[in-house]
Structure formats: C-alpha cells, structure tokens
C-alpha cells in the first residue's frame, strides 16, 4: 500500500479516536465485540499504527516553542483548520449549549 494511503488511514484513525475515545489505545484493535472498533482494526494493524505514531514528525525540533503545548502538531493543526474553513466545515465559531438539546 502506498505511503499516502497509510497516512490517510492513520489520520482517520486519530480523528476517530478523538471522537470515540476508549480508556486504552489497544482496545480499538480488540476482538471483544463490546469494545471493538472494526473500522480501525480493518484499516491498519496495531503494529503499523504504533510504528507510524512513533516515527511521524510534523514539526522542526530545532525550533521548539516551549510556550505552545501543541507545537509538535501545530503546523498540521493549522493546515487542517485552513482546509476545514476552505471547504465550509466549521467556517465559523460553533457553540452547543446543553439547553439547546432536549434531555429526557
């Protein structure tokens, strides 16, 4: 599989993990029906995911900004934000208040 396809899958898994959080990362590859996330397990092996996570670098470590806790992913975060705005996804500030959603 091409590097670009692996990257897309890896980023997709990261986004999904942010949306559907589990207590332990390994649980996404579990065979247990209660916690299994098939799309993650079918997209990439746990070993491939760990290798990509370990080796992926998005920032220049020679220009560390200690005041920014997200400096290692800041360039990619900025790129994502620009793309989301370009395609109309989150093009303005959104706020959801618990009063807006009916609770039964």
Residues 24 and 74 occupy one common structural domain: no
Residues 33 and 47 occupy one common structural domain: yes
Residues 10 and 49 occupy one common structural domain: yes
DSSP states along 56-93? ---S-GGG--TT-TTTTTHHHHHHHHHHHHHTTTT-S-
Residues 4 and 45 occupy one common structural domain: yes
On whether residue 103 sits in a domain, the answer given is: no
**pLDDT per residue over 28-58, tens digit each?**
999 998 888 999 999 999 999 999 999 888 7
The residue range of the domain holding 50 is: 1-56
Here the tokens at position 41 are 């397990």
Residues 32 and 80 occupy one common structural domain: no
Specify the pLDDT at position 1.
Answer: 56
The more confidently predicted of residues 59 and 100 is 59
- Is the pLDDT confidence value at 85 over 90? no
Please classify residue 16 by burial: count the beta carbons closer than 10 Å to its beta carbon, then call 0-12 exposed, 13-18 middle and 19+ buried: middle
Residues 11 and 29 occupy one common structural domain: yes
Residues 8 and 38 occupy one common structural domain: yes
Q: Which of 7-11, 60-64, 67-71 has the lowest mean pLDDT?
A: 60-64
Under the banding of pLDDT at 50, 70 and 90, the label for residue 76 is: confident
Asked whether 29 and 41 are in contact (CB, 8 A), the reply is: yes
Specify the pLDDT at position 58.
Answer: 76
């Amino acid at each position: 599989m091409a590097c670009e396809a692996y990257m897309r899958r890896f980023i997709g898994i990261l986004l999904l993990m942010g949306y559907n959080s589990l207590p332990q990362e390994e649980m996404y590859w579990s065979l247990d029906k209660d916690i299994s996330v098939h799309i993650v397990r079918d997209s990439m092996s746990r070993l491939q995911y760990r290798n990509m996570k370990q080796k992926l670098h998005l920032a220049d470590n020679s220009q560390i900004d200690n005041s920014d806790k997200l400096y290692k992913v800041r360039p990619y975060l900025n790129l994502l934000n620009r793309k989301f705005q370009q395609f109309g996804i989150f093009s303005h500030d959104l706020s959801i208040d618990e009063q807006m959603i009916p609770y039964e």
